[in-house]
Amino acid sequence: MTNGPAGGAGCLFDALYADEDAVVRALRAGASAESSDSEGTTALYLASVQDLPGTVRLLLAAGADPNRASGPEAGDLPLCGAACGGHTEVAGALLSAGADPDRSEEFGFTALHWAAGLGHAGVAEVLLAHGADPDLPGPQDEAPLVVAARRGSVHTVRALLRYGARGHSPALEEARRMLALDVEQELRDALRDMYGGEGRAGAVRRAPVDGGVTVTVELLRDGEPFASQDGQTGHGAIATLLEHELGLRTPFEELAVRALRGGDLELDNWVVAVGTLWRRGDEETFQAAAAWTASGDPLRRAFGADVLARLGFDTGGRPFAAQAVPLLRELARDGDPVPAGAAARALDGYLDGYG
């Protein structure tokens, strides 16, 4: 790190590791907001990647250029650093100060491509709200929608669609391709490609994030993690959303398979499949849902109950109430609490007139 007299660059960089008051003192003592260290890393870039929104605002107010590249090869941008870390507030501060949302850094990555590839939906949303091009291709000539579909981030895909992203067909192809794969194994293969035989397999973590599951695979060296890859599992919901955008009618059974794959009624794969069937509201859908409620699989019975819960309600009525209520009452007595609970919740929607 650059050393210098009081009020110089070294003073400012030391202050970054302290607190905002220290940054204010360094700036008042004469440190330039455009300071960089001996490797060319700017103070603004460092504050951005460390998720220090207050410090970022102080540096911007003191004259730091939000578009100035950083690092030995001047290949890193503060906005891209914030996007990589998922630092939504920092990204918003940089954009409000004039950061170009479509400026690319070394190798052609934009902040939106980083956000899409890493599943940082909040950052993607703020970038798009500040004018980022939802279709600007990245280094491999891939649109952000394709990158987000591969990642499995439903919320990022939704954000891109809201802001008019095109290229639905290639994104759907990618989502369907990922549906046929094991996410955990794909992550292991990616680590092996990057590091060869170095290290050994470590922990696999699964964490609920934004209506889906984030899977993280680690490599260990001397018993300690030294590399990891992560991905999300919302490919079923993404495929369903994109099929809707393209006017494609997904087969009933395919929707059921996508919903049941995660085994969780709260996941987007389940919720999006159910919502898609609700909107159809036809007799064919009712017959499929009724058959699911009689399945030997408890999760499939719960899926049938969820579909019956609001089937056709978008029309302003309850067109299948007379048929659905008896099925749901019977299922509410199911010995398994999952389908029984789903049926009980579904019945709540029919209480008016069916007490």
pLDDT digits (tens, 9 = 90+) for 335-352: 999 999 999 999 998 876
Of the chain, the percentage scoring pLDDT greater than 90 comes to 83
Are 287 and 271 members of one domain?
yes
Are 187 and 166 members of one domain?
no
3-class secondary structure, 294: coil
Are 135 and 70 members of one domain?
yes
Are 66 and 200 members of one domain?
no
Alpha-carbon gap, residue 218 to 188, rounded angstroms = 8
Two tokens at 25?
């003192």
Are 142 and 27 members of one domain?
yes
Are 43 and 142 members of one domain?
yes
User: What CATH code is carried by the domain that includes residue 62?
Assistant: 1.25.40.20
Residue 34 near residue 41, CB atoms below 8 Å: no
Predicted confidence (pLDDT) per residue in 86-138, tens digit:
999 999 999 999 999 999 998 899 999 999 999 999 999 999 999 999 999 99
Are 274 and 314 members of one domain?
yes
Q: What is the pLDDT of residue 4?
A: 36
Please report the sign of the dihedral spanned by the C-alpha atoms of residue 169, residue 174, residue 179, residue 180: positive
Segment 234-261 mean pLDDT: 97
Spatial CB neighbours of 206, under 8 Å, sequence gap ≥ 6: 213, 214, 215, 216
> Is this model's pTM higher than 0.85 or not?
yes
Of the chain, the percentage scoring pLDDT greater than 70 comes to 96
Residue 145 near residue 134, CB atoms below 8 Å: yes
Amino acid letter for position 187: L
For the chain, the average pLDDT equals: 93
Is the backbone of residue 32 left (phi > 0), alpha (psi -120 to 50) or beta? beta
Other Cβ atoms within 10 Å of 257 Cβ, number: 15
Instruction: State the total domains in the chain.
Output: 3
Is residue 271 in a domain?
yes
Band of pLDDT at residue 8, cut at 50, 70 and 90: low
Other Cβ atoms within 10 Å of 352 Cβ, number: 8
Is residue 239 in a domain?
no
Residue 102 near residue 110, CB atoms below 8 Å: yes
Question: Which residue, 167, 200, 234, sits at the end of a domain?
Answer: 234
Are 100 and 116 members of one domain?
yes
Query: DSSP state, 216?
Result: E
Spatial CB neighbours of 205, under 8 Å, sequence gap ≥ 6: 215, 216, 218
Alpha-carbon gap, residue 353 to 355, rounded angstroms = 6
Q: What is the pLDDT of residue 258?
A: 97
Is residue 38 in a domain?
yes
Is residue 241 in a domain?
no
Task: For 139, list phi and psi in degrees, rounded to 5.
Answer: -60, -35
Predicted confidence (pLDDT) per residue in 15-34, tens digit:
999 999 999 999 999 999 99
Domain that holds residue 195: 183-234
Q: What is the pLDDT of residue 9?
A: 60
Predicted confidence (pLDDT) per residue in 162-215, tens digit:
999 999 999 999 999 999 999 999 999 999 899 987 878 888 999 998 889 999
Predicted confidence (pLDDT) per residue in 82-100, tens digit:
999 999 999 999 999 999 9
Query: DSSP state, 36?
Result: B
Alpha-carbon gap, residue 2 to 12, rounded angstroms = 10
